[in-house]
Amino acid sequence: MKKMLSCILAGALALQVTPKKANAMAQGSIEVGSASISAGETFEIPVMIKENPGITALNLSLIYDTDKLELLGAEDGKILGTSTFLTTDILTKNPYILNWDDLSKVNNTGTGTVATLSFRAKDNAAGNAKVSVEVNQRSTYNVDLDEVAFEIFSGTVSIMSGENVPAIIADTVSGNQGDIVEMPIRLQNNPGITALNLSISYDNTKLKLLGAEDGKILGTSTFLATDKLTKIPYILGWDDLSKKNNTENGIVATLKFEILALEESTPVEIVLNQRSTYNVDFEEVKFETINGSVKIYKEQGNHDYNGDGAFSIADAVILAKFLSEDTTLTDNQLHSILDAEPDADNDGLITILDVSFILSILSSNE
């Protein structure tokens, strides 16, 4: 098999190929993590490169809510080869600059945590605080000095006003268009309830609610939900006729969504219906509510260039034919190649290197 791969690669390299521009510039993606914490708490948030088309320099501006958060520092994740990591000297400066520069002649294609940010939530802070980065385009490029773009997914810090404040927290989850994702809703610092009633709101052009499952942490409570899954707000209710408060913490319910949109991040809002949330003495019980969100990523190409439903040596062969402008390719074959994103190595160009990239994957999968 490896001999066959080598022969195909050698033949492909012999083709006279004119490079085709895939996009104005190569593009990757960067995600900023999220956290749920209490006021006054110190915590960390990762900045992660999810897709990396290859860079030798990266320059980011960190932007965050200075009314609620205090930046304590930034640590290099050391995934960008021999790059030198530099930051703004003054921690209070906003935006705060993070910079990586590598003088080597090889692109860094590492993915993972590129930096870890340390924050402290201010003592009087409460609610959600956005943490994001912006790519400084002219200072972010590859070994050929071509600018490299990154799609950014911001993070959210959900801050409770005190360490022991009762809270209802929806998680942040992520997925690609068409994925089914599950979002837990958690009780924290539960003071004791016999009834709980929540309203769930979301953007139904981006998400489709498929159902809600009881976490079964509220004793003998009866769990009821709106009959129509399409109704917004969607109501979740628990009612316990026993004479004892339920004080359990943990996952009270799990929402199941199908992701409809592409390349978006969308919130899921929780509202506590106060008059229907009470304890065994029929006293209203207050909870802080922390909204969740669904981060939606772009689905990457599957490299099935011949459209047969499998990834094999045949895909490398047909891609090589495409690059050589083989006139025997049919319209259906051309559509299959374009639908599977022929820029396999995501460097912004469609060249023989994409064939080499496909062959290297096949070789490593043996």
Per-residue pLDDT of 156-206, as tens digits, reads 888 877 667 888 988 888 787 888 999 999 998 999 999 999 999 999 999
Using the predicted structure, report yes or no on whether residue 12 has a pLDDT greater than 60.
Answer: no
Predicted pLDDT of residue 235? 95
Assess whether the region 26-160 and the region 167-297 belong to the same CATH fold.
yes
Confidence check: pLDDT of 218 > 60: yes
Whether pLDDT at 22 is above 50: no
The CATH class of the 26-160 domain is mainly beta
Question: Mean pLDDT: which of 5-14, 86-95, 121-130, 172-181 is highest?
Answer: 86-95
pLDDT digits (tens, 9 = 90+) for 266-298: 778 878 887 899 999 999 998 988 888 887 765
Looking at CATH, the fold of the domain delimited by 167-297 is given as Immunoglobulin-like (2.60.40)
CA 95 to chain centroid: 22
- Looking at per-residue pLDDT, the higher value among 236 and 296 belongs to 236
Instruction: Reply yes or no on whether the pLDDT at 25 is more than 50.
Output: yes
| pLDDT of 70 higher than 50 | yes
What pLDDT is attached to residue 192?
95
- pLDDT at 246 (0 to 100): 95
- Say what the pLDDT of residue 363 is: 62
Domain map of the chain by residue range?
A: 2-19+301-340+351-364, 26-160, 167-297
Give me the chain's average pLDDT, please.
84
